Amino acid sequence: MRADAARNRAKVLKVAYETFAEEGLGVPIDEIARRAGVGAGTVYRHFPTKDSLYQAVVTDRMRQLSEDAQALAAEDPGGALYTFLRRMIDEAAVDHGLVDAMAGIGIDMSVVVPEGEREFMVALGELLILAQRAGTARSDVDVMHVKTLLIGLQAMQRFGGDSDRIFQIIRDGLARSS
């Protein structure tokens, strides 16, 4: 790919993420093209359908998150899981329910983002194992449970309310020895 093409792709991806987060998934492709400073045709060259753009945005985001998780694991193995969950929850507000909105529209993320998803799960799994070793997470849960709790926590965060107490409840439940 030519350098300028790659630059355009990256620019569109970034703008798309921000725009979806700000305005919801309903924003027209034209609007994203405008904000990215390219023609609509250029968006379509890189992402042949709107769904493929959704997918690319989410994959990209998951990659970033996986990297964050790895960095946290290196810094503070025992506390990384909760730090990471807390961070993702806080960012859920920014994402404005991207994933749920997609679900609401009938897009099944697990089908649509298999690669990014796998990477992400691996990274999350690492954090869980470290926490279990450190005794801060019960042993009868696996990475899917944590992923599920994460989904729930994000939903709760978006719903609003006393997120500290909620986080504490989940943390207590997750830490309790079974």
Residue 135 near a second copy by CB under 8 A: no
The two tokens of residue 78 are 């025992």
* Per-residue contact string for residues 102-121; x = within reach of a second copy by CB under 8 A: xxxxx---------------
161 binds, among a second copy, DNA, none (CB under 5 to 8 A by kind): a second copy
Residues between 40 and 69 that touch DNA (CB under 7 A): 40-42, 44-46, 48-51
- Closest to a second copy by CB, 70 vs 149, is 149
First to last CA, the chain: 53
Among residues 14, 18, 29, 158, the one that binds DNA under rule CB under 7 A: 29
Among residues 22, 23, 24, 39, the one that binds DNA under rule CB under 7 A: 39
* Cα–Cα distance list, 138 to 44, 86, 143 (Å): 47, 18, 12
Residues with Cβ within 8 Å of residue 26, at least 6 apart in sequence:
none
- Residues of this chain that bind DNA (CB under 7 A): 1-5, 7-8, 26-30, 37-42, 44-46, 48-51
